[in-house]
Amino acid sequence: MSNPIVIKTSDLPKAFLEVHPHNLYLYCKAYAAGLRANTAKAKTRAEVSGGGKKPFAQKGGGRARQGSIRAPHYKGGGVAFGPSTDRNYDLKVNKKQKKLALYHAVAEKAANERLFVVDNIAVESGKTKDALAFVNSLGQRDVLVVKEMIDDKSFLAFRNLQNAYLVEENELNAYLAAAYHSIVIEKAVFEKLTKES
């Protein structure tokens, strides 16, 4: 692997520098919403145990009629308006907005000198220690590594690293770009990204 080149704000096209940060906020909000498991659940009166017998006679007791001691107003009864299990948390983000969010996230890294470009990212040995040596040479807290096409050796080398995450160019998004402290990107991918603007 060649020596990484630090990309500064001056190296980015104008389109990257004119993006409102709210685009990144909206994208990250939608991304996080899409990760929600929707597993919130409460038992209704039909699902709680017990209550098969009418608690007392319909008439003659001077009390309000009751059909089950598992109705919502009883202790141990079902929940009347519990969370819905078929709720959809997905939020819509326009294609243009996704693009702008990524531009802003990349520009932010460049502004803090945490964006690096390398001619080729490949660990021929497939060894984790070699990938770790490359990551440590950057002197960053954690790194998002963006490769044009992930080969088997590089995948094996990077997969166990806690302070690095390897993705292909089509997996790169604004959330990942914002979440990681630094980005290391292959020159071919960086050129495509800046060319699109």
| Domains and their CATH numbers in the chain | 5-19+92-196 (3.40.1370.10)
Per cent of the chain over pLDDT 90 is: 82
Q: What angle do CA 104, 143, 134 make, to 5 degrees?
A: 135
> What is the per-residue pLDDT across 81-96, written as a single tens digit (0 to 9) for each?
999 888 899 999 999 9
Q: What angle do CA 117, 120, 125 make, to 5 degrees?
A: 130
- Predicted TM-score (pTM) of the model is 0.81
- Angstrom distance (rounded) from CA 81 to CA 72: 9
Residue 196: its pLDDT value, please? 66
> What is the per-residue pLDDT across 116-170, written as a single tens digit (0 to 9) for each?
999 999 898 999 999 999 999 999 999 999 999 999 999 999 999 999 999 999 9
Q: Which of 121, 113, 134 is nearest to 181 (CA)?
A: 113
- Angstrom distance (rounded) from CA 125 to CA 108: 33
- Angstrom distance (rounded) from CA 93 to CA 95: 7
- Angstrom distance (rounded) from CA 178 to CA 142: 12
Q: What are phi and psi for residue 71, nearest 5 degrees?
A: -70, 155
- Computed over every residue of the chain, the mean pLDDT equals 93
Q: How confident is the model at residue 9 (pLDDT cuts 50, 70, 90)?
A: confident
Residue 5: its pLDDT value, please? 83
Q: Which amino acid is at 186?
A: E
Residue 197: its pLDDT value, please? 59
Residue 181: its pLDDT value, please? 95
**Cβ-count burial of 181 within 10 angstroms (0-12 exposed, 13-18 middle, 19+ buried)?**
middle
Q: Give yes or no for residue 2 having a pLDDT over 70.
A: no
For residues 179-193, average pLDDT = 94
